[in-house]
Amino acid sequence: MLLVQLYLRRLELFGSRRDYEARMREAAPPFDPTKPPKYWRDLTPLPEGESEIAYRVLATTPAGAPVRHPQTGRPYLRTMSMWPHEAAAVNLPTGATNAPGEDVPPLQVPLQPLSDTQYLDWPAEHDTLPEKMAQVVVRDKRDELLRPATWRLRDQQLLEQIARKLGVIV
């Protein structure tokens, strides 16, 4: 499963300023180069008595690359907190070349909690994923129990070589 399938469903996601303007029928707010780009917003009201919103996001380096957990070696989720007015706002870059703030990785999109059987992992050779989304995948332990062996590309190639030597048409 792709990580994008875990995005919080209550969020409004925008691909660009043009996308925002087309859907909202108003001009996008000015880009603030002192803050990272933010392509989502959450208009959900806070529960009574709370002042900040806590989200679960993929742990990343300052450059935006996923981080390995020190014990498991797998990607993991961390908590990100923000004020409600920050959660309700977008910060969409203009797309200008060499403009301040344009080259900063965007804020991670908050995710739904993982179920007890789900975990984050790195893609394997046999995973066929779009290149942009191939950094992290969501796996389910139940699927692994149903699948006795994971076939890799090398395994497939070896079987095809054996079949050819035996005269089997592949």
Candidates 93, 90, 94; CA nearest to 109 is: 90
7 found inside a domain: yes
Q: What is the pLDDT along the chain (170 residues), one digit of tens a residue?
A: 778 888 888 999 999 999 999 999 999 999 999 999 999 999 888 878 788 999 999 999 998 889 999 999 999 999 999 999 999 999 999 988 788 888 899 999 999 999 999 999 988 765 555 544 457 889 888 876 655 555 667 777 788 888 888 888 76
**Amino acid occupying residue 117:** T
**Total domains in the fold of the chain:** 1
pTM of the model: 0.75
List the Cα angle 132/134/137 in 5-degree steps: 135
CA 125 from centre of chain: 19
**Domain contains 170:** no
Q: What angle do CA 13, 134, 34 make, to 5 degrees?
A: 45
- Residue 147 domain-assigned? yes
d(CA 92, CA 110) in angstroms, rounded, equals 17
What is the extent of the structural domain holding 99? 3-165
